[in-house]
Amino acid sequence: MFKKVFPLSSILFLRFLGLFLVLPVLSVYALDLKGATPLLVGVIVGGYALTQAIFQVPFGTLSDKIGRKPTILIGLLIFLAGSLISAYATDIYTLMFGRFLQGAGAIGAVVTAMISDLVEEEVRGKAMAIMGGFIAMSFALAMGLGPVIASHYGISVIFLITAVLAVLAIGVLFTKVPTPPKIKHIYHNKPKISDILKDNNLLNMIIINTMQKGLMTVAFVLIPILLTKPEYGFNWEKSELWMVYVPAMIAGLIAMGPAAVFGEKKNIPKQIFLISIVLFLISFLIMGFTHSSLVFVLGVVAFFVAFNMMEPLVQSMISKFAKVHQKGAALGISNSSAYFATFLGGTFAGLYLDISNREALAISIAAIIVLWLVWTAFKLQNPVRHSHLYIPQEDIDFDKLNALESEDIAEWYINETEDVVVIKYVTAAMEEEDLKAKISL
């Protein structure tokens, strides 16, 4: 399983490392560009997410049609172009265009869908945890390296490094990523957005993913500005920002493993999500009101622990709830919504700081988080446990299988590459041998 997941996780690692390297310092350095205002800086920080939001669904749907690999290549080439434009930007609007172009290479949902294609659902939670771990490691490296590189060489060098990372990701795609199996499913209609949104499980996960990513850019606008601008009382140097990000990310990495294990093995993702939401609430209240550097750092630690506890479970749950023909589209919708919130989060934070103060911003965010907490507590359900029966095509009576109607069978499809039929059924409702007897020749 690890051999299948590692190359794709490496591509995400390289891409996100490029994106995250600028996040801890971008809001501060962008303020020095010609034409910059706090509002425009907020747009810059979250700008890549707006085009990610627009192109997630088209990229996910395209990957269902032409294949995952070609779609990932297209996305990486667009990301490379945006990185180069950002590197040579001399004013706020050129940088904005480069950031928009970076986001247009929206391959996150495609990579996640490809992992779902390659890995059996029984171990998909572990696969998603590995992927989430790689993303979290890119966070950790970026939080430490970004401020140091920017303080010594400038923000342009970070964007050039990002371009090099995109080239490396393309190399990994064509040398290490296996070809996913060819799947023949029983669904004749194209996946509809309305069907995905009508599924309560998928809708709830889309909301969780959206809120998590939106709060991320709010934090990345606030943290460097609050710590480095004298009017907020902390007066840190830009080169010192790593001292808040590195311990926060270490704590986040430590928390991520147990959260993924308990969420998957104990089948309690809802409880993990609720704990994370409470930590988000605490973190923003601390960052909004404290005047102590140590307490502020603790608030940032709480934020990253909450974020990393959620990260591996979100993608895993979406891939579990979606039907086999919906994976690309469902992950595309979820990531599209999440990236749109990422853009809004950065823009909202920048605008709020421009017209108000951090205390009012913290209260507004806290109110939103409380509503999110209540919604999740009452609406989200832990998933039903499913098992999978893998049986050779030659042993199946397809007339019996097509005639078998049961709410305990979620779906079935044919893996033509391995010449097996895969049947997903409710674990507690039937025995594997009984199911075999009903559909065998």
Instruction: Give me the sign of the Cα torsion angle 121, 8, 252, 102.
Output: negative
CB 118 within 8 A of CB 180: yes
Which domains, from first to last, does the chain contain? 2-379 (1.20.1250.20), 386-439 (no CATH)
Report pLDDT for 369: 97
- Residues written for the chain: 441
Question: Taking 90 as the threshold, does the pLDDT of residue 370 lie above it?
Answer: yes
The tens digit of pLDDT for each residue in 103-126 reads: 888 787 788 778 777 776 667 667
Q: First CA to last CA across the chain, in angstroms? A: 32
- Which letter, b or e, does each residue of 43-53 get, where b requires 16 or more Cβ atoms within 10 Å of its Cβ? bbbbbbbbbbb
Report pLDDT for 377: 92
Report pLDDT for 163: 94
pTM here is 0.75
In this structure, of 180-184, 227-231, 329-333, the range with the lowest mean pLDDT score is 180-184
* Number of Cβ atoms within 10 Å of the Cβ of 1: 15
Give dist(CA 29, CA 38) in Å, integer: 11
Secondary structure (DSSP) of 66-86: H-HHHHHHHHHHHHHHHHHHH
Structure tokens, 197: 């949104």
Average pLDDT value for residue range 177-181: 74
Most confident of 80-89, 183-192, 317-326: 80-89
